Amino acid sequence: MRTFAVVGHLAPTGDGFPLDDLPGSAGRMDILCRCVQAALSLSHGIRRDAEIHLLLLGPPSPPKDVLIRGETVRSLSPDERSTAALVRKALALPVGESFRESSPGILVRRGGLAGLLAGGGFAVLSEDGSDVRGERDLPAGFILSDHRDFTAEEETLLGGLPRISVGPRVLQADHAVTVLQNELDRREAGWS
């Protein structure tokens, strides 16, 4: 299983955000939706061996963790608006510390980075990390930030984790997921 987690520093934690303004008043939900596509979409299919956590930190009730599981998700179309609509539906559910399913393969709980990291098995995807191609073994989980740097508090939580880079340039978060998926696909297929 490949697991991705993206911290959405401004992304809403309620269902009141507009689908027509994902980059603006929806707190860069567009970035998170593109990460969902990069993590889970294939041409004419879904990566059933992948999942992605959206760690939402915006108003009104942060933090929330929306988990989209490739194994069981249905109705995931390859566009930002419909992906955001699925996330918005999840955010309408009242939540506690355990995941609740809002639609097949889409779950939500109260919680953020600290709770996720407690399970172990993560690396940080970061432009200042070590070259992924020089790493023989990779963990199953990868944490990214959205358009902002990780905060000092987040960096403290991430401090003990390996940092992996997919290349020398700073990429958009979803592009970093795409490049990493390609690296993992190549390894799985025995290409490198």
Ligand X SMILES: C[S@@+](CC[C@H](N)C(=O)[O-])C[C@H]1O[C@@H](n2cnc3c(N)ncnc32)[C@H](O)[C@@H]1O
Tell me which residues touch ligand X (CB under 6 A): 125-127, 144-145, 147, 149, 165-167, 169-173, 176
Residue among 66 and 143 whose Cβ is closer to ligand X: 143
In this structure, are residues 143 and 113 in contact, taking their beta carbons and an 8 Å threshold? yes
Taking the complex as a whole, the smallest distance from the CB of residue 176 to ligand X amounts, in Å, to 4
Quick one: how many helices (H) and strands (E) in the chain? Answer: 5, 10
Taking the complex as a whole, the smallest distance from the CB of residue 92 to ligand X amounts, in Å, to 28
Residue among 56 and 173 whose Cβ is closer to ligand X: 173
Beta bridge partners of 42: 45
Taking the complex as a whole, the smallest distance from the CB of residue 25 to ligand X amounts, in Å, to 20
Residue among 95 and 143 whose Cβ is closer to ligand X: 143
Residue among 93 and 117 whose Cβ is closer to ligand X: 117
Taking the complex as a whole, the smallest distance from the CB of residue 185 to ligand X amounts, in Å, to 17
For 133-173, the DSSP string reads GG-SS--SEEEEE-SSPPPHHHHHHHTTS-EEES-SSPPPH
Token pair recorded at residue 120: 């172990």
Taking the complex as a whole, the smallest distance from the CB of residue 39 to ligand X amounts, in Å, to 13
Taking the complex as a whole, the smallest distance from the CB of residue 137 to ligand X amounts, in Å, to 17
Helix (H, G, I), strand (E, B) or coil at 192: coil
Residue among 6 and 95 whose Cβ is closer to ligand X: 6
Residue among 31 and 95 whose Cβ is closer to ligand X: 31
